[in-house]
Structure 1
Amino acid sequence: MQNLFRAIPSVDASLAALHRAEAALADSQQTPHALLRDLVAAFWDNKRESIRAGACKNGEELRLEHQLPALLEFVQRGLRPRFRSALNATGVVVHTNMGRSVLAEEARQAVIRAATGYCNLELDLATGGRGSRHALVEELICRITGAEAALVVNNNAAAVLLVLDTFCKGGEVVVSRGELVEIGGSFRIPEVMEKSGATLREVGATNRTHLRDYSAAINENTRALMRVHTSNYRIVGFHSAVSLPELSALAHEHGLPLIEDLGSGSLMDFSSCGLPNEPTVPEVLAKGADIATFSGDKVLGGPQAGIITGRKGMIDQLKRNPLTRALRCDKLCLSALEATLRLYLDPEKARQSVPTLRMITCPPAELAKAARSLANKLRKGLNTQETLCEIDVREDVSRVGGGAFPQYDLPTTLVRIRPAGCSLTALKAALLETVPPLIGRLEDDAFCLDPRTLDIREYPDVLRVLRQALDTASRHTR
């Protein structure tokens, strides 16, 4: 064993070999020397573990010329940024695990401008003095939603926390039992209420809540009535809930605010593409909500943000809360949000320019055409002597995702791939290692691609990484 340990090349010799290797030259020249040295050391540490485990018994195998290809692959994998782009072929439009909404071109350009140099984030260009970052998008939000005032924080959970901390701390908030939701990452509305210092007062039953339930719960400690969008699930069957106008009237009768947490939040009616007509932000405010909170990076199609809309007096109080500074957005978020919201001034332009809206509203016939086109490209590019695949198309469904429109399907056409030389699980694993990784669906003994969430400009990358992954998976299978 000691002889095998002594056969391991030095780190310096390995680094010199890497620099001589043309494949690693570009990356190694741009990489901090300390990181490159750490990766080389980690590679040989793995070999030492193999020696201890008895998996490596031949000193000749440890010679640098034998190990250089594996060392190159290990180093190149380690040099990849942890944060990188991916190809979404799942058909889930607002995919939380994959960054949620894709920004519109206008928003991407706005981020580049904001990041490239200095900007007027808190500079009042009318006076030359200090300005407020909150004013940059407030007027635009109000124009689109009909709100008296607005405030943007870093996500919708922060928006809910700030509202409850400002108006309900030390008192009770009345909420229907059927709306006490848990969404992704074990985020629970009751826990946010607890952190805000407000006490939750549950009313009604899981499936049915009546106006009298809210009325009976109101007492001298009540600070607000609250409605919460039931993200990620639906109650069906024997179910009833109090309408917003009824609840608003009750709240105002007792001098209480009505807070509406819309979760995803929509500025547009999607009923034309087969989805239910969920309440939009303008509708909720018009029907009596004093405060409405929603996300910027879900159905709206912008950057991660929590948008608070409502009555001016209440928004002014939120702005004065010290928590607002801790929860505020940076210049990149605000620039992307402004550019996205500007597109909503022309609803038809928004449908075409905001990727999230375009994907949600894409007609089934157009998706079928895209699926056939992609399938033809894959048949020509994948069915070589080394790689054989059965490729066909089939009607199926997509999902909006992000907690919006749960249990409602969007018609689509899938491209299905059945490789001959490897298993589907091996193909899926190999695709996670490609650059960029390709994420699809395993259904009915096939690896499926949904064109709804693929841009036609990504098709060459889809073909390239599939060819690479099929080759890798087939070699491992053999």
Structure 2
Amino acid sequence: HTNLGRAPLSEVLFDKIKKHITGYGNLEFDVATGKRGKRGILAERYLAIISEAEAGTIVNNNAAALFIILNTLANRRKVVISRGELVQIGGGFRIPDIIRKSGARLVEIGTSNITTIDDYEKAMEEKPALILKVHKSNFAVTGFTEEADLKPLISLGKKYDIPVINDLGSGVLVDTSDIAGVKEPTVQNSVRDGASLTCFSGDKLLGGVQAGLIVGQKDLIGRIKKNPVYRAMRVDKTVFSAIEEMLGFYLDNTWKENIKLWRLAAVSEAELYQKGRAILERIKGGDKISLEGSLGEMGGGALPGVPLPSVALVFNCKISPRNLAALFRKASPPVIGRISAERFMIDLKAVDDDDADILVDIIKDILKKI
């Protein structure tokens, strides 16, 4: 949930980074020579390895990643983008505004629902510096639609010697088919297809902390890191440590166990029903509370419109669902549920096993009051 900190961090990840951030740590020190080293070099190496790219770097969020790419490669020059990809991200920030603030000049092509490769071909007459592809990671357009895929755009870019930038938004490093039922474009696919640079977030489908990750051609990454603006966007030891450990989980294939987002998302309906029945047995709330199948969402600007089969505690009380939701928000700690079909519910897909005892105590207390 965007407003609740996006991807929850696992205790394993937190314990691993704790030793690096509570005392002295090697942020940018060359132990062999005793001289200043390069900041975040291990995290950047992991990033390049896992994404199969020549190089990678990290800034403070994906909006910053896109901004510095444009400011470095297209300042006072033209950038071609489909009108259907002029997205708005959280907090009211819009891709066109970011492009303009970077110093680049916007060249809009196509329409909101249809943009073809021919539209991009015609735009080459404008002699652009970049072709920008933006993945619609926080909304979906259905019906009479068409968009140019990444591969034809890359072929076009090679034809005119123009870099192609792929903004994946939420970004993902693994196949989401088994867990989410749909296959989200991966960072590795973008690199393999030939995108000059690919940027994405660290705190959405990656399951880490807020960061903007950039991977791609080594020469372009080098130019970005020489941009004076890069220093204003660099991250600290906490973020580097978290990204480094998180990428390590992907590299050693323990991401399903150690990245909390994927651990929660992978819990089956059968397991959720078992958890729910155990909670009901402890609450003994009678007909005030029941257990029902539900459909959740990944949230946080990722996998839009993709339902995640789940199980929820559903409250059937005389008090209105909005007033009941308010009571749960006033609890200590607050419990945030949702209202569906005029009923308040708590989706168990989002409830970690370690939080079950606290949740039971809060539900018992509130049911006594109503």
* Partner residue, 2:308: 410
User: Aligned partners of 1:374 and 1:155: how far apart in 2?
Assistant: 38
Is 1:286 matched with 2:192? yes
Question: How far 1:260 moved relative to its partner?
Answer: 0.3
Specify the alignment match of 1:247 in structure 2: 153
Give the drift of 1:113: 1.4
**Letter of the aligned partner of 2:159 in structure 1?**
E
Take 1:220 and 1:135, find their aligned partners in 2: how far apart are those partners?
38
Residue in 2 that maps onto 1:365: 270
CA distance in 2, matches of 1:124, 1:275: 45
Amino acid at match of 1:457: D
1:226 equivalent in structure 2: 132
Q: Paired residue for 1:113, among 11, 19, 24?
A: 19
Specify every segment of 5 or more residues in structure 2 that has no aligned partner in the other structure, as ranges: none
1-structure distance, mates of 2:345, 2:29? 50
Amino acid at match of 1:378: I
Tell me, what secondary structure is at the counterpart of 1:151? strand
Query: Could you tell me how far apart the structure 1 residues matched to 2:145 and 2:190 are?
Result: 21
Q: Which consecutive aligned stretches of 4+ in structure 1 deviate over 3 angstroms post-superposition?
A: 467-472
1:217 aligned partner: 123
Contact 1:418-1:445 within 8 A present in 2 as well: no
Counterparts of 2:239 and 2:61, CA distance in 1: 11
C-alpha deviation, 1:389, in angstroms? 5.6
2:88 and 2:94 in contact (8 A); partners too: yes
In the TM superposition, what is the alpha-carbon distance from 1:221 to its structure 2 partner?
4.2
CA contact (8 A) 1:104 1:340 kept: no
Give the superposition deviation at 1:301. 0.3
Find out whether 1:148 has 2:54 as its counterpart: yes
Q: Report the Cα offset of residue 220 of structure 1.
A: 5.4
Alpha-carbon contact 1:177-1:203 (below 8 Å) kept: yes
- 2:347 aligned partner, one-letter code: D
Q: Deviations over 1:245-279 (max 9, x none)?
A: 11001011111100000000000111123522121
Aligned counterparts of 1:324 and 1:136: Cα–Cα separation in 2: 18
Residues 419 and 220 of structure 1, relative CA distance in 2, 3 Å threshold? closer
Shift of 1:306: 0.4
* Contact 2:80 2:106 (C-alpha < 8 Å) held by counterparts: yes
In structure 2, the partner of 1:463 is: 360
Other-structure match for 2:70: 164
- Deviations for 1:183-233, whole angstroms, at most 9, x for unmatched residues? 221121111001100111111111111111011112354110010011321
Residue 101 (str. 1) matches residue 44 (str. 2)? no
What is the CA distance between 1:427 and its match in structure 2? Answer: 2.2
Structure with max Cα Rg: 1
Are the aligned partners of 2:83 and 2:110 in contact in 1 as well (CA < 8 Å)? yes
Q: Which stretch shows the higher mean deviation, 334-343 or 230-239? A: 230-239
TM-score between the two structures when normalised by the length of structure 1 = 0.75
Q: Distance in 2 between matches of 1:167 and 1:203?
A: 20
Q: How many residues matched?
A: 370
What is the Cα-based RMSD across aligned positions, in Å?
1.6
Output the CA distance in 2 between the equivalents of 1:127 and 1:241: 52
Please, which runs of 5 or more residues in structure 1 have no aligned partner?
A: 1-94
Compute the displacement of 1:423 (Å).
Answer: 3.3
Find the counterpart in structure 1 of residue 166 from structure 2: 260
Q: Percent identity?
A: 39
Note if contact 1:170-1:197 (Cα within 8 Å) is conserved in structure 2: yes
SS of 2:7's partner is coil
Q: Deviations over 1:357-394 (max 9, x none)?
A: 11222222222222222222222xxx4xxxx7611111
Mapped to 2, the partners of 1:460 and 1:105 lie a distance apart of 17
Q: Secondary structure at the match of 2:297?
A: strand
Which whole-Å CA distance do the structure 1 matches of 2:102 and 2:224 have between them? 13
Distance 2:185 2:137 in 1: 13
Cross-structure match for 1:5: none
